[in-house]
Amino acid sequence: MLRSLTFVAVLAPAITLAGPAAGAGAAPQPDIDIQRSQTHQTIDGFGYSTAFQRATLVHNLPADKQKEVLDLLLDRRKGAAPSILRLGIGSSATNVYDSMLSIQPADPGGPDAPPKYTWDGWDSGQVWFSKEAQRRGVKRFYADAWSAPGYMKTNGTDVNGGNLCGLQGTTCASGDWRAAYARYLVQYAKFYQQEGIKISDIAFLNEPDWTTEYASMRFTPAQAAEFVKVFGPYADQAGLKVVCCESIGWKSSEAYAQAIENDPEARKHLDIMSGHGYASGADFPLSTSKPTWMSEWAPSSVADGWNEAWDSGKVTDGINIAERIHNTLALSGSTGFVYWLGGSRGKTAALIQIDDANGGYRVSSRLYAFAAYSRFIRPDAVRLGVNSAGDGLKVSAYRNTDGTEVVEILNTSHESVTTTVDLKRPAAYLTDSTHNLERDQALVSKRGPHTSVTLAPRSLTTLVSSHPQHD
């Protein structure tokens, strides 16, 4: 059955649950009531990208600063704690900043010629960063191609759109490159395997409905379904999960989801349906039987510049990232949330700004908004149902595989709120304008049968149970 037919929103309409209970002697209901028998999606994880040479920025820092940034971007206890790392598969013939070098920069002589792959063991710093991530517990590596090499495409370049030769509706003198491109993608994963990194998930396109002056390639929904059928057998044999289709907005992702869902052979080979959150946010479930990932988004920093604030009224504020994560999980039922960049330079909306020229860095509140979810909601956690009676509150709940439960409460109002939650002896963490995911047990107290929680204005409160909970 399609996910869109089974999805139940995590937030019920604002209703009062704390009034007199029905029946003599019945215990009062908490304002935030976890519905433990009601389960939704299983979480794959949270991550960000290191594409377009961004990993090299971290590598180029002085040793002490490099370690600090690696801990902030990767550490489970004090950092962003990602469980997914998104890698960029290169298509460029040159290795310069803001490009990604191809593993086969030159045409080997046609789609049926013996390949002439090259490998530098570096991959724009992504191999090094992946090893650092793996040392810190990251196990899921997701590789994505923005484009095929130019000689495989209708426009002869890896930039400015163009189509993969051999797809329906294309005409290329060089022939049909579909199978050669499929083998190219698998070879990329094999190179990582020889470096000790197991790529688990792979995507063959990025924003196929958007043409850019950097690496980009166009696919219609029908062409995407067509290539899934070509690529699927190669990926299956290599033990790779196929991800598609990375559309620029969640609404436009629906057409790609339906094209694959309506093609039994394509549906058989697809493992994860993906979409981005730029043109439209992930706030409804896609019409697919597959798990869904919101696989790229960051707010535009063009107007804001570098912004570290939690709540300054800018789109790049940390509280807006927290709200986007909540909506993605609770409204779209996505199993994965992948932010755009962990670190970058200049006027960026990355989690960290890296000044590689001067050997320094700055940290934004966006990192702590991300970490509030990623640190505590671990892979294979299950999202639980929850009723919330608080106006201005956005609430979601999760059960990890060890039985501990996590409740995320985003107070979007400008007033402090006191509420009760059906969670025993939770640890409390506060993220707001003056707290960066800091533990604060003064926020919780035991008053009656349920835990009382004080929510600061415009804040994210993360509650983590110390023991498995029961109905």
Compute CA 359 distance to the chain's CA centroid, rounded to the nearest angstrom: 28
* CATH number of the domain within which 95 lies: 3.20.20.80
Q: Are 368 and 441 found together in one domain?
A: no
Of 1 and 352, the one with more pLDDT? 352
One domain, residues 71 and 201: yes
Query: What's the distance, CA 86 to chain centroid?
Result: 8
pLDDT of residue 23: 40
104 in Cβ contact with 184 (< 8 Å): yes
Residue 146 lies in a domain: yes
Same domain, 219 and 301: yes
pLDDT in tens, 20-74: 333 444 556 679 999 999 999 999 999 999 999 999 999 999 999 999 999 999 9
Domain that includes residue 134, residue range: 44-374
Percent of the chain residues topping a pLDDT of 70 = 93
Residue 8 has pLDDT above 70, yes or no: no
Query: What is the reported pLDDT for 30?
Result: 79
β-pairing, 426-432 vs 32-42, is unpaired
Residue pLDDT, tens place only, 417-463: 999 999 989 999 999 999 999 999 999 998 778 999 999 999 999 99
State the pLDDT at residue 391: 86
Is position 471 within any domain?
no
- Reference 322, options 252, 393, 405; nearest CA is 393
- What DSSP string describes 379-445? TT-EEEEEEE--TTEEEEEEE-TTS-EEEEEEE-SSS-EEEEES-SSEEEEEEETTEEEEE-GGGEE
The owner of tokens 């999980």 is 329
Question: At residue 2, does pLDDT exceed 90?
Answer: no
Residues 399 and 338 in one domain: no
Q: Is residue 358 part of a domain?
A: yes
Residue 448: its pLDDT value, please? Answer: 75
Which domain CATH number covers 415? 2.60.40.1180
Residues 156-210: tens digit of each pLDDT: 999 999 999 999 999 999 999 999 999 999 999 999 999 999 999 999 999 999 9
For the chain, the 3-state helix, strand and coil shares in percent, each to the nearest 5, are 25, 25, 50
Count structural domains, the chain. 2
Regarding whether 360 and 288 lie in a shared domain, the answer is yes
The pLDDT tens digits of the residues spanning 268-298 come to 999 999 999 999 999 999 999 999 999 999 9
Strand segments, DSSP code E, in 109-163 are 140-145
Give me the mean pLDDT over the 144-163 stretch.
98
Q: Among residues 374, 396, 423, which one ends one of the domains?
A: 374
- Is the predicted pLDDT of residue 335 greater than 60, yes or no? yes
Burial class (CB in 10 A: 0-12, 13-18, 19+), 94: exposed
8 A C-beta contact, residue 231 and residue 167: no
Q: Is the pLDDT of residue 125 over 90?
A: yes
Same domain, 244 and 328: yes
Question: What phi, psi does 327 have (nearest 5°)?
Answer: -60, -40
